[in-house]
Copies of this chain bind each other. A is one copy, B any other.
Amino acid sequence: MSLRYGLLDLLAGEPMSGYDLARYFTLSMGNVWPAQHSQIYPELAKLASEGLITQTGEGPRGRKVYQTTPAGVEAIRAWLRASERDYSVRYEALLRVFCLWVLPTDEALAYLQRDRAEYERHLDQLEKALANHDWAASPASRASRLAIEFGRRFYKMHIEWVDWAAEQIAAGTLKPGGPLPPVTAVG
């Protein structure tokens, strides 16, 4: 049920096509709620049939531009207000960390370094998005800005954590009789 509200939100901010949504989603909401176009198009059709969005224009190559209706905005409000909040996180990259002890120490370290490069990439991408996009354009943009900031802090923290974890592993934490990682002060 989350995807639909993401779409409603983006289309309330500015009119867009499914194609645009698929791309824009990847850059903003896609960081916390991935969605493929194969999921987006059917959902748009459904939202339109429920009157929560309307097609307000068309373009070349069958392009269809949608926009959220007042009823659609009200649906977002109802969702925020009434539905139970789901705080669960799904993050495979971290699940894999639980398993690292089955690898030799050097391989585990190499594993984390590859992850680290990925987090640097994500961070760069967010910094670029912060620099290139006009985040003052509208209330919707400024809300996105807040969420993007979360991503920025997330990846910064992530990189720091990788370095810390690598230290621990290098010290032999994952091998029998190795030292226990200390409870360090953070923040």
Question: Which residue numbers of A lie inside 8 Å of B, CB to CB?
Answer: 2, 5-6, 9, 12, 28-29, 31-34, 73, 76-77, 79-81, 85-103, 107, 111, 114-115, 118, 122, 130, 135-136, 138-140, 142-147, 149-150, 152-154, 156-158, 160-161, 164-165, 168-169, 173-176, 178, 180-181, 183-184, 186-187
Contact = CB atoms under 8 A, between A and B. Distances in A.
A140 B62 CA distance: 54
Contacts of A77: 102-103
Contacts of A73: 102
A80 B101 contact: no
A96 to B, nearest CB: 6
A11 to B, nearest CB: 12
Contact of A180 (B2, B32, B145): B145
A161 B156 CA distance: 13
**A95, A168, A175, A184: which has the most chain B beta carbons within 10 Å?**
A95
Contact of A142 (B94, B144, B173): B173
Copy count, this protein chain: 2
Given A153-B161, A186-B153, A187-B157, A143 B101 contact: yes
Contact of A145 (B32, B79, B88, B181): B181
A98 B28 contact: yes
Given A76-B102, A97-B150, A89 B87 contact: no
A186 B103 contact: no
Contact of A135 (B28, B100, B115, B180): B180
Given A33-B95, A34-B88, A96-B85, A101 B149 contact: no
Contacts of A156: 186-187
Contacts of A6: 95, 98-99
A107 B180 CA distance: 44
